[in-house]
Structure 1
């Protein structure tokens, strides 16, 4: 009897394996470079994966296959392929891989996935819907423009004052300025005497957090490394908990105050409003809870600070590297706004060269070149290739900004490329800059952040002249991380 059962088992297993081999033979997978056993292609990325991936795209096409340690992965390049993946029916490319850092975050947040790291599901869609609604409520009911203008003015005053003493490393200045704005958007005007200390905590914790979630983290893609390097995961958990503590402290205060005044004064209030009818906690993982919705502040605080601060740095560095562009921006602002009043959002439509310059800096520096990793939630096809369920997907946003067929001279810094013959913004060119992502995972704060960046940059150009001793010596190379920032650059910020 045993021999019969064992023989039947072997026959079944053989048929199963043969069927799998047959199916695999009928599939057409993307090509890709040779990699190493176990660790895959990680050692081949080099210092700048953006450049390596551009070379591999040239060799293997718009879709190529790699391996991230234990995870099969594909890299999607070019505007057409990226848009096809991001907008795929059924949202098949909208998942998130369950990396070690994702699991650590879930543990830190008591079983809830923060919005940006959550896998695609009906709960995620509900979470995103409420967060978008809360942002819209905040932008409708709160005077965020006055906040942006006031803080931009303050940023300029500090830069000018401190620049009288020496050339400035503008990195920390940008972080502190954006942290002030972000904190007040999220939590309202801070009156505490410890405000400066709180800002320092947010900046330091955000920088530390982003070190751990950068692309290609070996602990993420080779899970057994967490047992060899347990301190890495513990350190990440501590950083996440520190950021969580900052948000939790403010949430508790807002929930108590909102019940008394019933008005929306900041984004936390708006999230409290949308969370009123949600359960505080739930054993059902498919249900969105009030706690999970309010924990969205964790994502907004971290992502909003790092990306915006680095964008401001890039804008300032490009202005000292290209003083002719800086003069053109200033001339346009002088003609439209003058020096007798502050720049406002109503001026935005009449400053096309200023807007074109912002778009060109964003194009040249894809600060989040691969977005957060996506993950296929079902077997699918893309550009004629088979992509299996459970594949990590990198949407190479950087490649979109350097397509020679579309841009002509993508390596050249030329804001005029975004202007039509009628001196208006070319919307088709603007839509090819995917700094905020694409599809269902697109940054939900894009509209608010774009307005903030415009006001900060335009105020700087209206009030200041940025300079270095030799513009030709300015280093425009990126420092890889989750968010790519510039190398250190010292400059003078002189009042005009």
Structure 2
């Protein structure tokens, strides 16, 4: 056998395995005659060419929507159904009205089994998810979300963040990683009872690993539908799995530190509370394996999204200097410069609240939800969604709905203000944190962080483009789960 034959032998083997698996899927699978509309799938590979290389998932969805409507079915791999749900009416019906049918996470979606294994908060199901979600919501409430204690932590971190920016004295710099450190320190305070220094190499490493997860994970990874591909060199799922294991190793070390000093009569933080409840009340899900995964989930979900929202906000302040002036004028009139902005100021800062909502709407940090699933054949809008289908709610179609918002492509905070200048929030179409039983458990914390962090920054700095540079781009970059702005240096000029 010559060199060329040796080179291609694994490819021939892979093709043979795919063909065999495909026939097994085809002949064992249930045939449906009333599926949602969508492009015709090819044998074995399905609609992979209709999605790969066609842009971000929400862009693929928007293009398909023009031809097939608000409900689109794709087949990825030999026999994996993916249903895209678009538009406020249909998303609300599925996520809220029919939550009991659509509340599940996929179990035949390879990454959910290989990496998450029905543990933690984001990708768990059944009793595990119910127990962990309830515990998390109660713990977040106990450790200050919505209370003075967490407000003080955010205010302190906002001052530290401001001091970091002040040292640059208005020189151009890229601040996304710094924003991530500030936000991650709020999570660290809740979970571990302590914060990190921004120059701590361990902290920097953790931030980079969280960032890598968000950039590498994607619904369209071929390994999700042809799992054997994970054994090929360069597999992204194998890379992400390694990152998760590294993050869990760190979390385990911190948990062991807590065990050594644990006092059930002195609960210091989230980990202590978990240890106090471990194995109690018959809740098998309150165990160390779920604690590892839950901590990783909290840092992953609570860091990248909020920090990216802060970056989008700064970009909009630069592109819309009149908005920046209005925000600061309002803050100075209500708060002044002698104290920190507080949550009590919200009612007196309607324009700042409108600005934050418009950032969340316009930037659409999460253009689509984390994958949902149905565990049985489900009738929806006159179609059958097959059992175990992956279901994606495309939130972009709500947040950028022209019929609702009129001019969604324009950044206009006034859309969240009444004629009297009062803050008004649309609850039907404004769902940046998703909706229904799987909405983000950290949405209240995220809103508090955005209000205090950004309010403090606007109070203390004028944000500008570097001298001679063009305005920042508002093009969305979706390399994985979230939409990020293009990398851009900014000048934070202290007042």
Contact preservation (8 Å) 2:99, 2:437: no
Candidates 277, 299, 309, aligned match of 1:274: 277
Contact preservation (8 Å) 1:81, 1:382: no
Classify the secondary structure of the residue corresponding to 2:331: helix
Corresponding pairs, count: 460
Match of 2:12 in 1: none
Q: How far apart are residue 257 of structure 1 and its match?
A: 2.5
1:56 and 2:64 matched: yes
Contact preservation (8 Å) 2:217, 2:237: no
Match of 1:153 in 2: 159
2: distance between equivalents of 1:422 and 1:274? 49
Contact preservation (8 Å) 1:142, 1:265: no
1:248 and 2:247 matched: no
Q: How far apart are residue 229 of structure 1 and its match?
A: 4.3
Q: How far apart are residue 470 of structure 1 and its match?
A: 6.8
1: distance between equivalents of 2:58 and 2:244? 27
1:77 and 2:86 matched: yes
Candidates 94, 100, 103, aligned match of 2:110: 100
Contact preservation (8 Å) 1:478, 1:487: yes
1: distance between equivalents of 2:110 and 2:233? 12
Distance 1:278 1:249, change over 3 A: farther
Q: Deviations over 1:83-129 (max 9, x none)?
A: 111124462112222333222224xxxx65232111x3123212211
Match of 2:313 in 1: 315
Classify the secondary structure of the residue corresponding to 1:490: coil
Classify the secondary structure of the residue corresponding to 2:227: coil
Distance 1:276 1:225, change over 3 A: closer
After superposing the two structures, state which structure 1 stretch, 433-442 or 171-180, moved more: 171-180
- 5+ unaligned residues in a row in structure 2: which ranges? 1-26
Contact preservation (8 Å) 1:321, 1:471: no
1: distance between equivalents of 2:91 and 2:259? 41
1:330 and 2:334 matched: no
For residues 341-352 of structure 1, the aligned pairs below 5 Å read 341-352=339-350
TM-score (norm 1): 0.86
Q: Deviations over 1:102-159 (max 9, x none)?
A: 22224xxxx65232111x3123212211121111111278711111001111111211
Q: How far apart are residue 467 of structure 1 and its match?
A: 0.4
Match of 1:372 in 2: 370
Classify the secondary structure of the residue corresponding to 2:84: strand
Match of 1:265 in 2: 268
Candidates 406, 420, 423, aligned match of 2:421: 423
Match of 1:434 in 2: 431
Q: How far apart are residue 245 of structure 1 and its match?
A: 1.4
Distance 1:478 1:186, change over 3 A: same
Match of 2:21 in 1: none
Match of 2:11 in 1: none
Contact preservation (8 Å) 1:278, 1:290: no
Q: How far apart are residue 195 of structure 1 and its match?
A: 7.6
2: distance between equivalents of 1:359 and 1:471? 28
Classify the secondary structure of the residue corresponding to 2:206: helix
Classify the secondary structure of the residue corresponding to 2:393: strand
Distance 1:131 1:275, change over 3 A: farther
Match of 2:447 in 1: 450
Q: Deviations over 1:243-267 (max 9, x none)?
A: 101211122222332326x223322
Contact preservation (8 Å) 2:374, 2:389: yes
For residues 132-171 of structure 1, the aligned pairs below 5 Å read 132-139=137-144, 143-164=149-170, 166-171=171-176
Candidates 155, 163, 177, aligned match of 1:172: 177
Match of 1:128 in 2: 133
2: distance between equivalents of 1:188 and 1:97? 34
Contact preservation (8 Å) 1:160, 1:495: yes
2: distance between equivalents of 1:61 and 1:181? 42
Q: How far apart are residue 300 of structure 1 and its match?
A: 0.2
Q: Deviations over 1:210-231 (max 9, x none)?
A: 2332332221132231233475
Match of 1:182 in 2: 187
Q: Deviations over 1:337-359 (max 9, x none)?
A: 11121101110121111111111
TM-score (norm 2): 0.87
